[in-house]
C-alpha cells in the first residue's frame, strides 16, 4: 500500500507542478537549441531511438536532442518526479492509459494546429489520429499500431508433444497443453508459460472476451469481484498443474522484456504487446512465434483491439515545441525515421510510410506485421477512455496477483481487494 500511495503522490504532485509551470512558461514559438526526450522500453528500442536522433542531427545540425529511457515500471515514477521538479522532458513517450490524465491536467501541449503543417499525418486515418485525442484535443501522435499477443518458443512446445498456442485456441485447451509441456519439460525449473495474472493488458483482454471491460464509459470500474476472482482462479489452476511459473519466479519480472520468464529461460511463453516481438526475439536465442490470446469460448470474441502501441507528446510550456514537432514528424512521417525505427514500436500508422517500409523489413518484423493483419478482421472497438487514476491500476493488479500467487490471499479475497482498491484509486482522482 505505501508504494501505491507514493507513486500516486508523486504523479499527482508532478502533474500539478507542470500545470503551474506552464502558466509562466515561455512562448510556444520560442526556439531551443536542446531538447530532452524520455521513453520507456528495451535496449533495442533505445538503440533505434538514439540512431534516429543521430540521423535527425544531420538534418538539423543546430539542434541537440538528449535521450533517456527506463523500463516500464520505473518510467512513470521517473516522469512524475521530473514533472514535480518542473524539469519535464520536451518530448514524452506517452501511453493510452495515461494520456487522458496528463492531458486533462494541462501537462501536454495541444498539437492540432500543426496537422498539415509541421505534422504530415493526414494519411494516418481518423482512428489512428483520434487515438491521441483527449476531449477533442490532440495531445499525442501515434507512434505505431499494436495489439496484445502471445510469444512462444515453438520448438519447446512441439518437442514436448504439446500443441502450441494458435489463433482460435481456448483457455481450456491452452491450459491442457501447457500442463503437458511442463510435465515433459526439457530442463528442471522450466514451465510452459509466464504468469500473466498481474499483467493489465492480459486481464483486459480476458474481460473483453467475457463482455466486460476495465472501465465504463462514465469512468467507473467495468468488472466486479466475481470477474476478478475467475481471472485469479484461472491462473491459480495453471500454477497448481505446474503449467505456469511459480510466484517466486514471476515476482522477478519487472514488466519488461529483459526480466520476463520467457527471456530468462524459465518459460516457453510470454503475454505481451505485438510490437515487442522484435525486442523479445533479439534477446531470445530460440526462434519465437506469435499468436493471439486464448479465447474463453470457441465462438466468442477474441478480446483484441488495435491500439496505439504508444504515443509521443510535447510538454506544455516547452520552449522548443516547433522543433519537437519537427522531430516527431521525422519519426512518424518521413522514410528515414520510419526505416530506423522499423516496427519495434508498432506498425506505422501512416499508410504511405507503412507501404514503403514493408519491402525493407526483416523476417522478424514481417512476422509481427503479418500478425496484425491476421487478427484485424476479428478485433473489437477501442475500450472506454481510462479515467483519472487509471495509471495506478497496473500496480494494484500486479501487487494483488502476487499476493494470490504466493498464497497470502485466496483468489476470492484477491477479487474483492482488486475491485475495492481500484475504486479507491479512481475516486482519489
Mean of pLDDT values over 349-353: 92
Predicted confidence at residue 85, as pLDDT, reads 86
57, 274 in Cβ contact below 8 A? no
pLDDT of residue 73: 85
Is 80 exceeded by the pLDDT of residue 223?
A: yes
What digits encode the pLDDT tens for the residues 237-246?
Answer: 999 999 999 9
Confidence at residue 4, expressed as pLDDT on a 0 to 100 scale: 34
Exposed/middle/buried for residue 7 (C-beta within 10 Å: 0-12, 13-18, 19+): middle
pLDDT, tens digit (0-9, with 9 covering 90-100), for 161-199: 999 999 999 999 999 999 999 999 989 999 999 999 999
pLDDT, residue 276, reads 93
Average pLDDT, the chain: 91
pLDDT at 228: 99
Over residues 114-159, the pLDDT tens digits come to 999 999 999 998 889 999 999 999 999 999 999 999 999 999 999 9
Q: What cell does 202 get?
A: 492480459
Asked whether the beta carbons of 93 and 310 are under 8 A apart, the reply is yes
DSSP 30: -
Q: What is the CA radius of gyration of the chain?
A: 21
Query: Over 234-252, what HEC string results?
Result: HHHHHHHCCCECCHHHHCC
Count CB neighbours of 246 within 10 A.
15
Query: Which tens digit of pLDDT belongs to each residue from 283-309?
Result: 999 999 999 999 999 999 999 999 999
In the chain, the domains with their CATH numbers are 2-143+309-359 (3.40.190.10), 148-304+388-428 (3.40.190.10)
In angstroms, the CA 303 to CA 379 distance is: 7
Question: Residue 19: its pLDDT value, please?
Answer: 46
- pTM of the full structure: 0.81
Measured over the CA atoms of residue 325, residue 45, residue 244 and residue 416, the dihedral's sign is negative
pLDDT for res 29: 42
Predicted pLDDT of residue 33: 87
**Partners of residue 37 on adjacent β-strands:** 67, 91
How many CB atoms within 10 Å of residue 135? Answer: 9
Cα atoms in the Cβ-side hemisphere of radius 13 Å centred on 280: 31
- In whole angstroms, what is the distance from residue 217 CA to residue 215 CA? 7
> For the residues 326-332, what does the mean pLDDT come to?
98
Return the minimum-mean-pLDDT range out of 149-158, 317-326, 389-398: 389-398
Q: Among 309, 301, 266, 299, which residue's Cα sits nearest to residue 284?
A: 266
Write out pLDDT tens, residues 83-115.
888 899 999 999 998 998 899 888 999 999 999
Burial string for 278-312 (b: 16+ CB within 10 Å, else e) reads bbbbebbeeebbbbbbbbbeeeebbbbbbbbbbbb
Q: Average the pLDDT over 368-377 and give the result.
A: 91
Taking a C-beta distance cutoff of 8 angstroms, is the pair 132, 40 a contact? no
Q: How far apart are CA 425 and CA 396, in angstroms?
A: 9
* b/e 402-423 (16+ beta carbons within 10 angstroms → b): bbbbeeebebebbbbbbbebbe
- In the prediction, which pLDDT does 31 show? 58
**CA dihedral for 316, 81, 9, 312, sign (positive or negative):** positive
Cα dist from 330 to 115, 172, 264, 340, 344, whole Å: 14, 46, 35, 10, 16
pLDDT: which is higher, 255 or 205: 205
What is the predicted pLDDT for the residue at 183? 95
- C-beta pairs of 54-57 under 8 Å, 24+ apart in sequence: 55/330, 55/336, 55/337, 55/340, 56/327, 56/330, 56/337
> Is the confidence at residue 17, as pLDDT, over 50?
no
Q: Predicted confidence band at 429 (pLDDT cuts at 50, 70, 90)?
A: low
Are 293 and 223 a contacting pair, CB within 8 Å?
no
Task: Quote the percentage of the chain above a pLDDT of 70.
Answer: 92
Amino acid at each position: 500500500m505505501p508504494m501505491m500511495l507514493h507513486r500516486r503522490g508523486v504523479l499527482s504532485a508532478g502533474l500539478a507542478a507542470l500545470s503551474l509551470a506552464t502558466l509562466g512558461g515561455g512562448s510556444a514559438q520560442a526556439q531551443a537549441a536542446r531538447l530532452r526526450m524520455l521513453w520507456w522500453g528495451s535496449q533495442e528500442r533505445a538503440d533505434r531511438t538514439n540512431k534516429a536522433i543521430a540521423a535527425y542531427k544531420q538534418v538539423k545540425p543546430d539542434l541537440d536532442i538528449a535521450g533517456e529511457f527506463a523500463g516500464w515500471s520505473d518510467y512513470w515514477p521517473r516522469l512524475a518526479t521530473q514533472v514535480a521538479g518542473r524539469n519535464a522532458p520536451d518530448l514524452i513517450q506517452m501511453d493510452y492509459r495515461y494520456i487522458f490524465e496528463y492531458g486533462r491536467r494541462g501537462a501536454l501541449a495541444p498539437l492540432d494546429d500543426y496537422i498539415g503543417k509541421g505534422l504530415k499525418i493526414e494519411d494516418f486515418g481518423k482512428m489512428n489520429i483520434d487515438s491521441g485525442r483527449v476531449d477533442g484535443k490532440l495531445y499525442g501522435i501515434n507512434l505505431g499500431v499494436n495489439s496484445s499477443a502471445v510469444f512462444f518458443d515453438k520448438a519447446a512446445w512441439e518437442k514436448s508433444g504439446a500443441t502450441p498456442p494458435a489463433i482460435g485456441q481456448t483457455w481450456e485447451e491452452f491450459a491442457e497443453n501447457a500442463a503437458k509441456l511442463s510435465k515433459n519439460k526439457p530442463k528442471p525449473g522450466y514451465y510452459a508459460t509466464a504468469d500473466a495474472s498481474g499483467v493489465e493488458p492480459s486481464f483486459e483482454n480476458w474481460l473483453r472476451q467475457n463482455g466486460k471491460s476495465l472501465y465504463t464509459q462514465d469512468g467507473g470500474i467495468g468488472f466486479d469481484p466475481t470477474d476478478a476472482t475467475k481471472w485469479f482462479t484461472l491462473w491459480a489452476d495453471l500454477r497448481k498443474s505446474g503449467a505456469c511459473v511459480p510466484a517466486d519466479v514471476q515476482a522477478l519480472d519487472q514488466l519488461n522484456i529483459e526480466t520476463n520468464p520467457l527471456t530468462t529461460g524459465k518459460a516457453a511463453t510470454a503475454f505481451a504487446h505485438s510490437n515487442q516481438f522484435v525486442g523479445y526475439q533479439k534477446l531470445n536465442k530460440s526462434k519465437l512465434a506469435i499468436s493471439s490470446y486464448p479465447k474463453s469460448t470457441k465462438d466468442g470474441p477474441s478480446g483484441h483491439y488495435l491500439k496505439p502501441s504508444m504515443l509521443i507528446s510535447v510538454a506544455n510550456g516547452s520552449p522548443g515545441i516547433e522543433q519537437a514537432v519537427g522531430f516527431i514528424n521525422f519519426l512518424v512521417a518521413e522514410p528515414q525515421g520510419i526505416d530506423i525505427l522499423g516496427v519495434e514500436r508498432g506498425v506505422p500508422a501512416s499508410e504511405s510510410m507503412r507501404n514503403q517500409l514493408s519491402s525493407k523489413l526483416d523476417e522478424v518484423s514481417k512476422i509481427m506485421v503479418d500478425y496484425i493483419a491476421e487478427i484485424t478482421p476479428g478485433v473489437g472497438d477501442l475500450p472506454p477512455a481510462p479515467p483519472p487514476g487509471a495509471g495506478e491500476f497496473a500496480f494494484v493488479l500486479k501487487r494483488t496477483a502476487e499476493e494470490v500467487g504466493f498464497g497470502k490471499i485466496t483468489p476470492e479475497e484477491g477479487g474483492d481487494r482488486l475491485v475495492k482498491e481500484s475504486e479507491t484509486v479512481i475516486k482519489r482522482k
